Amino acid sequence: MNYIRRFFISGNIGYLFALPAIVYMVALVGYPIVSNFILSFQDVTVTTLNKASKPFAGLGNYSTLLGDGVLRTSLVNTFVFTLSCLAFQFVIGFALALFFTQKFSTAKVVRGLMMIPWMIPMTVTALMFKFIFSSNVGILNQALQACGLITQPIEWLLQPRLAMLSIIVTNIWIGIPFNMILLSTGLTTIPQEMLEAASIDGANKRQTFLKITMPMLKPVIASVLILGFIYTFKVFDLVFVMTNGGPVNSTHLLSTYSYKLSFSLFKYSQGAATANILFVILLIVSILYLRFVYDDKEMS
């Protein structure tokens, strides 16, 4: 008892405050990560789910997945999806951020309202865009037909490449505000005097942008891109609701394919293995991000 009391006196009392949260996270996040790892080396299906001893499968699940065409498609899709979303939402978000740093009456209010797409549940966004892209009642087809650009309605969500495109467009819509607001905040940290000084020295707008704004924004740009990568790479709801991986498994991401393996096909171990592939890629990117932030902080 005395020892315990001595332990918590001085700084160690910090443990006492932090302990409940840590226990909670270890039980509900730490333990599942470990058990997901173990699960991926076992052969767990519906029949073995409730049994005490589960058959060991070694690397069996991973080698099965290597030969699985759908897994390869999902892996490629996840990268295509992430990188194309990132590129467009960054460029559009940046353009909007620059636009809203100009001084005009509605700047602040409208920029704030632009956050709404980012906040609404992805399920709702997915439904909204499913309606827009729908081949018979969708406004997109109706508009294209009205303009005379197409004669037959396009089946946006029923053709593999177009379905992927539709999903990407939807996710860009969600990602724009995130990029815009972070870049806007970054832009406000650039001292106004610096930009004024440059223009007095005869720099034109393009030169100021390339020589001052961009270098000053570098850390923010890097954060936005890496965080954007992490958030986009693990997207689940959007694809699950819009196409659920269809048509014929052509739009699966690693996240939705993992879900399908576990909860539609009841191949829990293969689902776990797929999730682990996703996890490892994200972990590598996260570590890169943390090292980047950490280095940045040490410098300042």
Partner 1 sequence: MSVRKDSGRRNNVALSCLSIILFAIIMFPLYWMIVTSLKREIEIFQVPPTLFPRVFNFDSYFAQLKQGDFNMFQSFKNSLVISAAAMLISLVLAIPASYGIARFQFKGKKLFILSFLVTQMLPVSVLLTPMFILFKNAHIYNTQLSPILADATIGIPFSVLILISYFASMPKELEDASRIDGCNRFTAFLLVFLPIASPGVIVCAVFSFLYGWGDLAYGMTFLLDQKLRPITAGIFNFMGQYGTKWSYLTAFAFVTIIPVVLIFVFMQKYIISGLTSGAVKG
| Region 198-227 residues binding partner 1, contact defined as CB under 8 A | 220, 223-224, 227
Residue 265 lies near partner 1 (rule: CB under 8 A) = no
Nearer Cβ to partner 1 (33/211): 33
Is 25 or 76 the residue whose CB approaches partner 1 more closely? 25
Q: Looking at 43, 79, 212, 289, which residue binds partner 1 (CB under 8 A)? A: 289
Window 230-249: residues binding partner 1 (CB under 8 A): 230, 233-234, 236-237, 240-241
Peptide bond into 247 cis (omega under 30): yes
**4 near partner 1 (CB under 8 A):** no
Q: Which stretch binds partner 1 (CB under 8 A): 12-20, 66-74, 79-87, 195-203?
A: 12-20
* 111 Cβ neighbours under 8 A, 6+ residues apart: 96, 100, 180, 181, 184
Cβ proximity to partner 1, 211 vs 270, nearer residue: 270
Q: How far is the CB of 81 from partner 1 (least distance, A)?
A: 14
Binding mask 72-111 for partner 1 (x = CB under 8 A): ------------------------x--xx-xxxxxx--x-
Taking the C-alpha atoms of residue 172 and residue 223, their distance in angstroms, rounded to an integer, is: 18
Q: Does 185 bind partner 1 (CB under 8 A)?
A: yes
Alpha-carbon distance 80 to 127, whole Å? 22
* Residue from 46, 91, 113, 197 binding partner 1 (CB under 8 A): 113
Q: Which is nearer to partner 1, 133 or 198 (CB)?
A: 133
Residues 18-47 that bind partner 1 (CB under 8 A): 18-22, 24-25, 28-33, 35-36, 39
For partner 1 (CB under 8 A), the number of binding residues is 99
Question: Which residue, 29 or 210, has its beta carbon nearer to partner 1?
Answer: 29
Specify whether the CB–CB gap between 278 and 255 falls below 8 A: yes
Question: Restricting to residues 125-164, which ones interact with partner 1 according to CB under 8 A?
Answer: 125, 127-132, 134, 136-137, 139, 142, 146
| Binding residue (CB under 8 A) for partner 1 from 121, 150, 291, 295 | 121
